[in-house]
Amino acid sequence: MMDSIKLYCPLASSVSQVRVLLIGPVGVGKSSFFNSINSVFRGHVTSQAIAGCSTTSLTTQFRTYTVKAGREGKPLPIILCDTMGLEESTGAGLDIDDVVSILKGHLSDYYQFNPCAPLQSEAHSYCKSPELKDKIHCVAYVIDACKVSIMPTKLEEKLGAIRRKVNSMGIPQLVLMTKVDEACPFVSQDIKNIYKSSYIKELMQEVSARLGVPLSCVVPVKNYSQELELDLDCDIILLTSIIQMLRFADNYFDELSDRSSSIQTKE
């Protein structure tokens, strides 16, 4: 699985690394997901992205993280883009207008989010002419399995508004359902039970219904949080999610190619 990720090449020749945007409420494990993927390829548990427990987002900047194949290895063909957490109240957390700017490739790495004022096109840090390599090729919503059933209505509405924007831009979307071991004792006993647990399947179905995504697009994962050593079964689940993201990115590039061919045919 690691080799297939290392050898992956985006279908668009102008793109060397697929960009995946992680979006989700505060504290669901967006930064921890990057740290976990990084850990798998480093061969030990790492903590490059700031992660932890807080009522407000610990991530206040737009960050683009490249995973390397080993300590001094080559960068993998995927970039995980981390954002400020979504919050219920208006004027707090990630702004939907900033999400659109990220999707279109206008935000630069280390951009400092301002929940009260989204980035304007005349700002110094605004990239006016982004290329295909700067845009987002796949969106992953990160949802805490323990909080699926108690997701606040306003948060659900925000996610719905973002989904509609992403849909209109033709970007593939999936859902990473984190903390499955905390949600289900059966999975906590053995992570391999992740696809055997009827409770986890119920949560996946609920996420699918609430966010309006097909069940096949809901991917259960477990991040490294308190472990000091890697676990092969956990690694396999994490790598499965990355492979799914790369496949979805292929769909994005296929769609672009089909659209381009259609326009040329009409001309």
- Is residue 267 domain-resident? no
Q: How far apart are the C-alpha atoms of 207 and 190, rounded to whole Å?
A: 23
Q: For position 17, which CATH number holds?
A: 3.40.50.300
What pLDDT, on a 0 to 100 scale, did the predictor assign at position 177? 97
pTM for the model stands at: 0.89
Residue 50's pLDDT is what? Answer: 54
Tokens of 68: 């390397």
- Which tokens belong to 213? 């995504």
- Domain assignment of residue 126, yes or no: yes
Residue 118 has pLDDT above 80, yes or no: no
Half-sphere exposure for 218 (CA within 13 Å, toward CB): 25
Beta-bridge partner residues of 138: 20
Q: Is residue 241 part of a domain?
A: yes
In a domain, 263, yes or no: no
Domain count, the chain: 1
**Range 217-237 burial, b when 16+ CB lie within 10 A, else e:** bbbbbbbbbeeeebeeebbeb
Looking at residues 134-154, what average pLDDT do you find? 94
- Return the closest-CA partner of residue 194 out of 171, 221, 164: 221
Summarised one tens digit per residue, pLDDT across range 151-184 is 889 889 889 999 999 999 999 999 999 999 999 9
* 108 contacts 99 by C-beta, under 8 angstroms: no
Give the pLDDT band (50/70/90) at residue 55.
Answer: very low
Residue 174's domain spans which residues? Answer: 2-257
Q: Is the distance from CB of 36 to CB of 264 less than 8 angstroms?
A: no
pLDDT digits (tens, 9 = 90+) for 12-23: 999 999 999 999
Tokens 């209505």 belong to residue: 153
